[in-house]
Copies of this chain bind each other. A is one copy, B any other.
Amino acid sequence: MKKIDILKKLRSSRLRPTKQRVEIAKFLFERDKTFHFTVESLNKLLIKKSTSRIALATVYNTVHAFKAAGHLSEVEVRGNKTYFDTNVSNHHHFYDSETAELIDIDANDIIIQKIPKAPNGKKIKNVEVFINLKN
C-alpha cells in the first residue's frame, strides 16, 4: 500500500488527511497481515515509531473515526480493554490467553452445520466464532 491509497482512503471517508491521521493510517494499513490492537498498545507503538507525538485523545478519535468509516472492526476479547482489528471482513479468531494474542481465522475455514433459528421476529446479523487456545 502506498501513500496515495491512504489519502484516497481518508478522502473517500470524508476524513481530512491530517498529519496525525495519515501517520496512524500508514501505521495501521500499510502492512500485509492483519493487525489487532488496543488504543493503548497502538499508542505505545506510535510513540516508539515516530518522532512527532500524537495526543492519546487523537489516537482514540482517529481509531473511532476509522471504525465508523469501516476501516477497522472491533473484536470482543476477555478483559476490560477494547480491541480493534484491521481485518474488516467477516472472519473469526483464535485467542491465546497466554500471550493475549488474536489470530485470524478465515470465514471459509469454519463451517457451521447446525444453528438454531433466531428468536421471535429477530434475524441473525452475524455469527462470531471465538476459539480459546491452551498449551
Q: Contact residues of A with B, CB < 8 Å?
A: 74, 76-78, 80, 82, 94, 96, 103, 105, 109-116, 118-119, 121-135
Interface of A is mostly: strand
Taken together, the copies of this chain in the complex come to: 2
Contacts A118-B133, A126-B132 supplied; 18 other A-B pairs, CB < 8 Å: A76-B78, A80-B82, A94-B122, A103-B119, A109-B115, A109-B116, A110-B114, A111-B112, A122-B133, A122-B134, A123-B133, A123-B134, A124-B133, A125-B131, A127-B131, A128-B129, A128-B130, A129-B130
Q: Which residues from chain B contact A78 at a C-beta distance below 8 Å?
A: 74, 76
Docked-complex contact B128 and A133, CB < 8 angstroms? no
Name the one of B105, B115, B122, B130 contacting A135, with C-beta atoms under 8 angstroms. B122
Cα(A132)–Cα(B126), bound, Å: 5
CA distance A92 to B99 in the complex (A): 24
* Residues in B neighbouring A105, C-beta threshold 8 A: 116
- Closest Cβ of chain B to A75, distance in Å, is 9
Nearest CB in chain B: distance from A15 CB, A: 23
Residues of B within 8 A of A122 (CB): 94, 96, 133-135
Name, among A96, A109, A118, the residue most crowded by chain B CB atoms within 10 Å (CB to CB). Answer: A118
